[in-house]
Homo-oligomer: A and B are copies of this chain.
Amino acid sequence: MQDKVNIHEALETVKEHWSQKVIGEANGQMFKVAKGAGETKWHKHDDQDELFILYKGNLTIQLRGRNIELYEGDMFVVPKGIEHCPKAESEAEFLIAGINVTSNAAGGKPNVLPN
């Protein structure tokens, strides 16, 4: 059985932007914490929806044609196959639910990472 995890404490351990840390699994879906600042590359996930829950700051989910502004407590699902580009003016902290880890090049992680 998985131990309980505090999401705020897990977020404190994340040091790299746009890198996800898996903190739990349920029904084949992984729950991951991440921080972001700046923006990823435009990308899409053909195999999975990507659910965001904001914990701190402001995250803009740029979609083709419109932006979704997320603040603390907001939940939003980027459907599979939809191009998106998350952007944060200053550091944002969030939970992601999805089938697998997307913090790699295919997941839109930028080549040059902020310090």
Residues of A within 8 A of B (CB): 1-2, 4-9, 23-29, 31, 48-51, 53, 68, 70-71, 73-77, 79, 82, 97-99
Contacts and interface: CB of A to CB of B under 8 A. Distances in A.
Copies of this chain held together in the complex = 2
22 contacts: A1-B77, A4-B74, A4-B76, A5-B75, A5-B76, A7-B73, A7-B74, A7-B75, A8-B73, A9-B73, A23-B75, A24-B51, A26-B29, A26-B50, A26-B77, A27-B29, A27-B48, A27-B49, A27-B97, A31-B51, A31-B75, A31-B97
A62 B41 CA distance: 44
A73 B50 CA distance: 20
Consensus secondary structure, chain A interface: strand
B24 A77 contact: yes
Contacts of A27: 28-29, 48-49, 97-99
A77 B97 CA distance: 14
A104 B75 CA distance: 25
